[in-house]
Chains A and B, each alone.
Chain A
Amino acid sequence: MSFAWAKQYEPQTAFTKWIDEKLPLPRLVYNAVGAGYPVPRNLNYMWNFGVLAGFFLVVQIVTGVVLAMHYAANAQVAFGTVEHIMRNVNYGWMLRYAHANGASFFFIVIYLHIFRGLFYSSYKAPREMIWLLGVVIFLLMMATAFMGYVLPWGQMSFWGAQVITGLFSALPLIGEPLQVWLLGGFAPDNAALNRFFSLHFLLPFVIAGVVILHIWALHIPGSSNPTGVEVKQESDTVPFHPYYTSKDGFGLGVVLILFTTIVFFLPNVLGHPDNYIEANPLSTPAHIVPEWYFLPFYAILRAFTGDLALFGITFVPAKLLGVIAMFASILVWFILPWLDKSPVRSGHYRPLFRKFFWFGLIPTMIVLTICGGAPAEEPYVILSQVATAYYFMHFLVILPIISQIEVPKPLPFSITEAVIGSDKPGTTSGGGKVDPEGVVQDLPGSSPDGSLQPAE
């Protein structure tokens, strides 16, 4: 499960020896995030976001469990209990603002984590399973965040629940009954609020479980790195602790400063004022807008304005097209490892891919985010349609084609060479000695893909 030169856990005291025999939990931690996990020495700051995502999951669970002690999932009183938390619970305002903005920060770090994976092709063999589990985590997060936003039972909570569950009503035949079944009624009410609360409490622990699988799958091939060249020898790696624990500690500090700035000085800037109005089924807000982290997908949903019809016969109504496209926009990530067949991982060595990434995908996501939050009027509708078309073209058409025709730049021989300019014994300082005998053997699951070798 690890490289041959990975340090082994050696219990020092009688007590730790006893523990190691009975339940080797310290050994597990040591091998997972301690000195026993060798990590490429050249990771940049983009590799901080996995740990940060884990941190925000913990923040959400801790603040959420305490908030649940003071909240009541009942449509009559839910809005009032949230105000009770804000006014009467000791530091309740801090807990609630940390939880609400913690969700936003969880998505910020997850999006950076995903885009890191897209740029450095972290989804490629031998790491497909890590990527697939990551997409599962993302889908679970979206469900959890959506249900959490319903709980304060404000206007946006209510109408958001109405709109999102209404998506299922677009399905032919089973749509309407399915929506009624999901909500437990014809409109969001007590039944919906209760089940959303129950699931909102449950799903974070499911996410934590999948995160464990995600990290387990990560430890089989080890972390990827900015060159995309696999680890070959001991000098390519450093132990996770203390090298990356210290770097993650610094990264965590920086993100916490940003997070607390939002929590303490601009706690409502990412929310919507309408959610401070109690849910009212008889009054529809002028603009129903989801939370910012759903906006790109909301824009894709709304991009389909015309029914798929020929000769006056409607084959697929526009609403169903939008729903299919919205789900497809995330599901397409599940086949990404097999769409992009370029043997080179890192975007740094892929001139064509890099252009499409920075000038295609990133502007598209920004345009989709803006259009998702804008009212459904021109020019936003046309912009979102163009961006949606590019989004699908990028993953389904452009990536398969450029991975076929692109001429990648020469890769460095090893990570050590990429970092210090040469890879000769004795020139490295730290990261352990270079041992010619210690050259890594092929890992289980890593294909002996000759093209991953240096191109020259």
Chain B
Amino acid sequence: MTIRLGGIIVGLAITAILVLWSLVPGFINFAFGPPAEKQASYAFYEHGDGPEGGFTFDGALGTWDVAQLQRGYQVYKEVCSACHSLKFVAFRNLQQLGYTEAEVDAEAASWTVPGIDPNTGETTTRPGEPTDYFPMPFANNIAAAAANNNAIPPDLSLMTKARGDGSNYVYDLLTGYGEADPELAAKVGFETPPGLYFNKHFPNVNIAMAPPLVIDGQVSYADGTEATIPQMSKDVAAFLTWTAEPSLVQRKQTGWFVIGFLIFATALAFLSYKQIWAGMKPKKK
């Protein structure tokens, strides 16, 4: 009885404190106070839908489009890698993109990585080997910030997993550059600060990255695909999905085997459960 009485008193006290000091003042402020301020960028930000037709790796049966990954790798190499690192990916991983061992060797050698002179021990550079990881474009964060108007270009290895709906986000971001609607901007008092660029798919619509893909044909694809801006964006988004999760397709394929086995095993478990309980079940009333 004492516990229950004490419980009731404590319960009422907690509720009273919550209602009188938090709920009521908050409600009065919500109902009669000034409306919450919204940033001007809210008027412009749009959720993108990703590329038309989606990606080949979408869905439970998705697979890589190897040609697309190779094109995306080319876009990364010729455009993105000027500023963005890919530090968790090694050249040897490129074999998964359909390159032969010799091609991977050649590809690795086309990159310059930091090395040590075997004779003098001084730091130097050398051509990459398959076991090397993609090199950093800047010596350190300070150098990266200094070269990029104080914004550090993020590492791209995990970019499509580090953003919600990441593959579509990367595509949307690359195709979202443009001009803010001047009429609307005047109405909400919005302007893009100097040094930043308007991008309707970036959360606060002002992004420090200059538009990386500016003209059709910026990259010349070896397989003859027309290098439009949406095409390059889609290809590099696919490539970055692969860098973020090289095991994505293997994961889904393994999943089908595991679930298939489990459905079979669960069906057997259900039958043995029914068999054991036969005769024990209640009569229907």
Contact = CB atoms under 8 A, between A and B. Distances in A.
Interface in A86-117: 86-87, 93-94, 97
A359 interface: no
Contacts, number: 172
Contacts of B14: 325, 328, 389, 392, 396
B88 A397 contact: no
B8 A401 contact: yes
A51 B88 CA distance: 40
Interface stretch (B170-178, B194-202, B253-261): B253-261
A278 B273 CA distance: 48
B8 A397 contact: yes
Interface residues of A, number: 69
Given A87-B246, A250-B270, A304-B18, A273 B161 contact: yes
Interface string B145-160: 0000000001001100
A306 B265 contact: no
A397 B88 CA distance: 56
Contact of A420 (B27, B161, B255, B283): B283
Given A238-B280, A265-B60, A385-B18, A396 B8 contact: yes
A408 interface: no
Contacts of A277: 154, 158, 162
Given A264-B255, A382-B30, A273 B166 contact: yes
A276 B266 CA distance: 35
A254 B25 CA distance: 48
B8 to A, nearest CB: 5
A377 B36 contact: yes
A360 interface: no
A363 interface: no
A396 B10 contact: yes
A378 B30 contact: yes
Interface string A306-331: 11110000000010010001001000
A50 to B, nearest CB: 17
B186 interface: no
A264 B259 contact: yes
Contacts of B252: 264-265
Q: Taking each of B7, B247, B258, B283, which has the highest tally of chain A beta carbons within 10 Å of its own beta carbon?
A: B7
A176 interface: no
A87 B88 contact: yes
Given A246-B276, A253-B269, A389 B15 contact: yes
Nearest to B9: A396
A266 to B, nearest CB: 10
B26 A382 contact: yes
Q: Which secondary structure characterizes the binding site on chain A? A: helix
Interface string B268-285: 011011001101101101
B262 A256 contact: yes
Interface string A119-144: 00000000000000000000000000
A446 B256 CA distance: 50
A260 B161 contact: no
Contact of B285 (A246, A305, A307, A421): A421
Given A309-B21, A396-B10, A263 B255 contact: yes
Contacts of A335: 3, 7
A163 to B, nearest CB: 19
Interface string B1-39: 001110110111011011101110111001000001000
Contacts of A305: 22, 25-26
B255 A261 contact: yes
Among the interface residues A265, A335, A386, which one has the most CB atoms of the partner chain B within 10 A? Answer: A265
Given A396-B8, A420-B283, A94 B18 contact: no
B265 A253 contact: yes
A338 interface: yes
B263 interface: yes
B245 interface: yes
Contacts of A200: none
B91 to A, nearest CB: 13
Interface of B: 3-5, 7-8, 10-12, 14-15, 17-19, 21-23, 25-27, 30, 36, 60, 88, 93, 154, 157-158, 161-164, 166, 203, 244-247, 251-252, 254-256, 258-259, 262-263, 265-266, 269-270, 272-273, 276-277, 279-280, 282-283, 285
29 contacts: A249-B272, A250-B266, A250-B269, A253-B269, A254-B266, A257-B262, A257-B266, A264-B259, A265-B60, A267-B251, A273-B163, A303-B22, A305-B22, A305-B26, A307-B21, A309-B21, A321-B17, A325-B18, A338-B3, A381-B26, A385-B18, A386-B23, A388-B18, A396-B8, A396-B11, A396-B14, A400-B5, A419-B282, A431-B280
